[in-house]
Amino acid sequence: MPLCYMCGQHSSMSSKLVALFLLILLYLALKCHCSTPQSRVQAGYYYMDVGNLISDINSKLFTHLICAFTYVNSSTYHLSINSSTEQQFSTFALTVKIKNPSVTTLLSIWVGREHLPNFFSMINQSSYRNSFVQSSIETARLYGFQGLDLRGVVPTGTSSEMANFGTLLDEWRVAVNSEAKNSSNPELLLVMAGNRLPALGSVIYPIDSMRRNLDWVHVKAYDYYLPGRDRVTYFHAALFGPSNMANTDNGINEWKRRGFLPSKLVLGLPFHGYAWTLLSPQKNPVGAASTGLAVTTDGSVSYNYFKWFIRNYAHEAVSGYNATAVVNYWTFGLIWINYDDVEAIRAKVSYVKQKGLLGYNIFQVRNDDNWVLSKAAAKELDDENQNQKGRLLVIVLVSSSATIVLLLGSVWVMCYLRKRKVKSTGIVLKARKGQEAKVNGIATTGNLNTNVPDLEAYSYADIEMATNKFSFENKLGEGGYGPVYKGVLANKQEIAVKKLSKASTQGFEEFKNEVTLTAKLQHVNLVRVLGFCIEMDEQMLIYEYMPNKSLDFYLFDSDRRFLLDWKKSVHIIEGITQGLLYLQEYSRFTIIHRDLKASNILLDNEMKPKISDFGMAKIFNKDEQEANTGRIMGTYGYVSPEYVKKGLYSTKSDVYSFGVLILQIISGKKNACFYGLNENLILLEYAYDLWKSGKGMEFMDPSLDDTVSSCKLIRCLQIGLLCVQENATDRPSILEVFSMLKSESAALKIPKIPAFSTKENGDEGTKPQFQLENCSINDTTLSQMVAR
C-alpha cells in the first residue's frame, strides 16, 4: 500500500479525532467556567438590640446570618424572646431575604453558664426535651428562619449529662427531618457553637452524636484570657502558641483527633478584643502583670469602638502585629489591648483554607467598622475561589490542547518513521537526568509532608548575570558553606546568592535541607529563601537580600559597634527569641537549628533580625525530646556540651547557643578569646565570675545605656548565664526565656557554673576538657568535635 495513502488515512482519522477533542474541550471549558468551587460558610452572629437597623447589614459578605439570641424558659422549656426585641426578630429573616435571597438565616438559642443547670435538668427528661425541640422548630418556622443554632453548651457537668445532650441532638435531628417531610419545607439546619476544646477534664462532648446530627460546629476561637479574670496578660484569640497556653490550632487539632471531620468545623472570628491595665509600663507586655480590665466595664472592646477610640483619644498609641500568635495589639500608657485587625483576620481565614475547614463565623457583625474586617475575610475566600476556577480552567485547556498536539504529532511521527529511520542518541535526556533528579529530590522531600511552596529554580545564566559573573565587588562575605554574593535580577529585585564552595564539607543533603526548611518555615524573624540553582554542577541558594548584613558585622567591630545602641540590641534579642519560639513551639514540627551564631543572624533595612542558614537543622516531631548523632556539626563557642561530648542535641542546644549570643550582644566580646586578669577564662566563665562577684556591669559594653529601658543589662546577663549552664535540664526553655525577657518583675533562678568552665573540677589552671579538630577561632564551622 502506498505510503501517501496510509498517511492520508491517518490524516483523515486524526482530523476526526481532533474535531471530537475540540468538542470535548469546549464542553469542559464551559463547565469549568460555569461551575463554582466547593462553597464555604461565611457566617456571622447578629446580636439583636433595641434600635438595630437590620437593613444596614452588608449581606453580600455572608452566606449565613445568625440572629441572636432566644432563651429557654425555665418552666415550660419553650423558646422565649425578649418583648423589647420581638418585633425585630419577627422581621429579621424577611428583611435579609428581601435584600439578599441567597443568604441563609438561623435563629440562635442561648444557653450560657448561668443557664446550664436548667438546661441539663431539661435534657434529663424525655418530655422536656420534646417540648424544647418542638418549640424551637415552631419558632424558627414562625419567623421564617432556615436553621437553628445552639450556643453556650460546654463539655462540663457529668458524663451522663453529656450523654443526655447526645440524645437531645438525636431527637432534634429526627424531629427536624420529620417536620420537613410532613410540611414539604426544606430541612432546617442544625448547628452549634462548640468550646475550643471538645473535652474539659474527663467530660467530653457527645462527638458521635454531634457528627451525625449537626451540619457544622463553629468553634469559639476567642476569649481564652480575660482581664476581669486573669492577672497576667496574654492574647485572647491566639491562632498559634505553646502547648501550655490556650490557642486555636491546638483546639482544632484536638477536635480532629477526637474524630470530628474538619469539613464540619467552622472557625470563630472575634470582632472584639480586650483591654488590660498594666501594673507598670511595658514595651510589649505579653505575659506582664495586670491590675485588671480597662476602657469598659468588662474589658471587652468592639473593633468599631476601638477604632473610634484611637481616632479621637490615642493618636500616639503604639500598635503592632504578632505574626507568631496571629494577633494585633496596641499600647497606650498603662492600657494594653489585643484584638484582630485585617492582618490577623486574613491570616485566620487562610488557616481555614489550609486546614480544610468548612468556613468561618464572625462574632459579631455589628462590631465591624465600616465592614473592613468582613470584607477582608470575604476577600481571602474570594481569592481562593478565583484561583480555583482559574487553575481548573488552565488544567482543562492545557491537558486538552496537549492531547490534540500529541495526536497530531503521533500521526506525523508514524509517517516520518516510515520514510526514514532515525537512531536516537539520548544525549539531551542524559545531560538533564541528574539535574532533574535533584530538582525532584528537593520538591518531594517529606520532612514537612508538603511540597516546597513558591520556589523558583533559577538558571545559572540568570544568577551569573545578576551577580556580574560573581564579581569580587558583589561578594558580601564567606562562611562555612561558601561565598555569598549580592545580585540584582532582571526585574530589579535584590537578592543574596549563597554558592557552595568546592572545599565545603556540606553536600547536597544540607543544600536540600536548607531549601525545604527555609521555604516552609515562614516567619518574620526567619530569612526567606526565594529559590535555588543547580545548573552547571553548582548548588546555589537564592535569598531575600539583607542590606544590613549580619549581626557579627557590628558586634565585633570597634566603630560599627556604636550603631547598636541598647534599644536596637533589645529589639534584636527579642526578634531572635521570636524566631526560636516559632521553630521550637509554634511550627508544626520542632526545628533545631544547630548552628545559631552571630554570623547567622541577618539584619534587614530596619535592623530586624532574621535567623538564617538551616543547612544543619534537624526536625523533630512534637513528642520527641532529643536525638543522637555521630557526626558533630556546629561552630566553636556556640555548641552545647552534651552535643560536643555525647552527640546529643535537643531544643536546649539552641537555647545554649542563644545564651552565648546574649552574652556577646551585651558585651561586644568574641567567644574565641580568653579574658580575666590572667587571661585564662573563656567568655562564659568571665561573665559568670563578674556576675557572681556583683561586678556584672564590668562585663558590659560601656556604650550600652539601659537607663530608660525596661529591659536591663544585668537581667540579660543573668538570663544568658541560665542558658549556658552545663546540664541541659537546668537551662530554661525558649518560652521561659521569652517570659523572663518580657517580665522584668519575675524572679530569676540562680545560674550554675557555665559549661566548659575550667573551674568545674576545681582546677583553675586547666583548659576545657575537649579537643577541637578542623576548626579555628574565627567563628568557623566544625566538621568534628571529639570528647576526651
- Reported as type and span, the H/E element at residue 552 is helix 552-555
The length of the chain in residues reads 788
Query: Which three-class secondary structure string do you get for 151-215?
Result: ECCCCCCCHHHHHHHHHHHHHHHHHHHHHHHHHCCCCCEEEEEECCCCEECCEECCHHHHHHHCC
Contact 96, 65 (CB under 8 A): yes
Query: Which three-class secondary structure string do you get for 352-391?
Result: HHHHCCCEEEEECHHHCCCCHHHHHHHHHHHHHHHHHHHH
Q: Does the annotation count 595 as an active-site position?
A: yes
Q: Cβ-count burial of 245 within 10 angstroms (0-12 exposed, 13-18 middle, 19+ buried)?
A: middle
Cα–Cα distance for residue pair 102/68, rounded to 1 Å: 20
Residues 6+ apart with CB under 8 A from 640: 649, 652, 653, 656, 657, 728, 755
Q: How many angstroms separate the Cα of 421 from the Cα of each of 10, 414, 416, 424, 633?
A: 19, 11, 8, 9, 56
Q: How many angstroms separate the Cα of 98 from the Cα of each of 102, 577, 659, 713, 773?
A: 10, 53, 64, 65, 80
Cα–Cα distance for residue pair 472/467, rounded to 1 Å: 9
Cα-Cα end-to-end distance for the chain: 86
The three grid cell numbers given for residue 715, joined into one nine-digit string: 537581667
Q: How many angstroms separate the Cα of 203 from the Cα of each of 160, 171, 206, 260, 647?
A: 9, 22, 9, 16, 44
CA atoms in the 13 A half-sphere facing the CB of 515: 33
Q: How many CB atoms lie within 10 A of CB 435?
A: 14
Residues 6+ apart with CB under 8 A from 187: 176, 177, 180
Cα–Cα distance for residue pair 192/298, rounded to 1 Å: 25
Task: Give the single-character DSSP code of 459.
Answer: -
Contact 755, 731 (CB under 8 A): no
Task: Looking at 668-694, list the stretches that DSSP marks H as alpha helix, in order from N- to C-terminal side.
Answer: 683-692
| Sign (positive or negative) of CA dihedral 181, 182, 183, 184 | positive
> If you compute the radius of gyration of the chain from its CA atoms, what whole number of angstroms results?
32
Task: Say which of 340, 341, 368, 595 is annotated catalytic.
Answer: 595
Cα–Cα distance for residue pair 633/117, rounded to 1 Å: 61
Cα–Cα distance for residue pair 273/238, rounded to 1 Å: 11
Q: How far, rounded to the nearest angstrom, does the alpha carbon of residue 78 sit from its chain's CA centroid?
A: 44
Cα–Cα distance for residue pair 341/272, rounded to 1 Å: 9
Q: How many angstroms separate the Cα of 150 from the Cα of each of 67, 165, 192?
A: 11, 12, 4
Kind of pairing, strands 483-488 and 494-499?
Answer: antiparallel
Contact 326, 267 (CB under 8 A): no
Residue numbers annotated as active site: 595
